[in-house]
Amino acid sequence: MTPASFLLRNVTVVDGTGSAPVPGQALVVEGRRIVWIGPVADAPSTAPENVVDGGGRTVLPGLINCHVHLTADGAPDLMAQTAGDTVPLATLRAAAGAVETLMSGVTTVRDCGAADDVVVELAKAIDRGLVPGPRVQAAGRVITMTGGHGHFIGREADGPDEVRKATRAEIKAGAAVIKVMATGGVLTPGVSPTQTALLPEELAVVAQEAHNSGRRVTTHAIGRSGIHNALISGIDSIEHGFYLDDELLDIAVAQGTFLVPTILAVDGIIRNGMAAGIPEWVVDKAEREAAKQRESFAAAVASGMKIAAGTDAGTPFNPHGDLSRELALMVQHGLTPMQTLIAATRGAAENLGLAHELGTLEVGKLADLVVVDGDPVADITATGRVVLVVKDGVVHRDELPDTGPAVPTARPR
């Protein structure tokens, strides 16, 4: 779709910077970018058919989910689904998940691992306008030790030389970010979540190769030793981080390392359990680690560690499009609503290396906008009441009344 040019008026702006909400505002989109923001009374003259009235609702930057798996759809047994899917079926799942994500107000995601280059290619298809979806920063295959967590969607490698080659192979394949496994995990049989996996010298070459190519690198890290290995190896963000302590938090804060907590992943497993078809060994591991995850997240909040929002969407009973539920859990366990909104906008954009284009409502930034019913600073669940989604200046969802027929949408209303 060709980007629109329009005036969005009568909205309260929550700009993603942490500044207080500003009511009675308007903004102008021309092509792919925001070109003006200010009071409604000062808005540029605009043809009536190109005026969108927000009805006093709240406009936010397009939300960002820093941890998804688009080729999975929340089935009870993720490993069985992954093993059973053909490449065409996995591709169809990924495309469906991308649409669901975009319609929920998430305009950018980081996909943290998929087999067969499916999501690398999906990201290209979305960029070319072949299929609708959020902007996708795809990790491709994860880098893991032989038999390590996620080996069924990964490149198995042992020792610095093999790990270096695996990282270079993912860069060659088109990965926009590198994902590495520093510990075991909940969803791989035969490994403990706290098990130490790749060693510091192996993680360091992943970080070196990623950074040499201008990419960021993130790691699955649950156990303390694995988190420590990742921090001293120059990894940019920690996924999950269940066993953070004061020493690790001091290192993380000093380095500016991000935490992507993914509280929703464990929550989905525990809420549904074996009765819903989740394997017993998955439920057992999740139940053992749940309390530690909450404690670790609260400690990270208190320490001032940088936090970016991510759901681990695709894991059992954790469907795409549920970022608002993750944000509610982040508030429940220690962040303020404003801090949580930053984690899903400016902070998430910084974590992905995209803050120069995304994450805040500013003149010159890409026109990624979400309008929601209610005040998310007072009630974070308002992020789940989405009525307008704009990505790159294109309106993909419009449930506002009387917005004017001349504003093109990428999907029929």
The pLDDT of residue 401 is: 81
3-state helix, strand, coil in the chain (%, to 5): 40, 25, 40
DSSP for 20-61 reads: PPEEEEEEEEETTEEEEEEEGGGPPP--GGGEEE-TT-EEEE
Beta-strand runs (E) in 334-381 = 369-372
Q: DSSP class of residue 69?
A: -
Q: DSSP class of residue 380?
A: G
Q: What are phi and psi of 293, to 5 degrees?
A: -60, -45
Q: How many CB atoms are closer than 10 A to CB 46? A: 15
How confident is the model over 39-68, as a mean pLDDT? 97
The pLDDT of residue 402 is: 65
Q: DSSP class of residue 217?
A: E
Residue 71 has pLDDT above 90, yes or no: yes
Q: DSSP class of residue 179?
A: E
DSSP-derived 3-state class of residue 124: helix
Q: Which of 353, 299, 314 lies closest to 79, judged by CA?
A: 314
Q: What is the pLDDT of residues 383-409, one digit of tens each?
A: 999 999 999 999 999 999 864 433 444
Cα-to-chain-centroid distance, residue 386? 17
Q: What is the pLDDT of residues 140-198, one digit of tens each?
A: 999 999 999 999 999 999 999 999 999 999 999 999 999 999 999 999 999 999 999 99
Cα-atom radius of gyration of the chain, to the nearest Å?
21
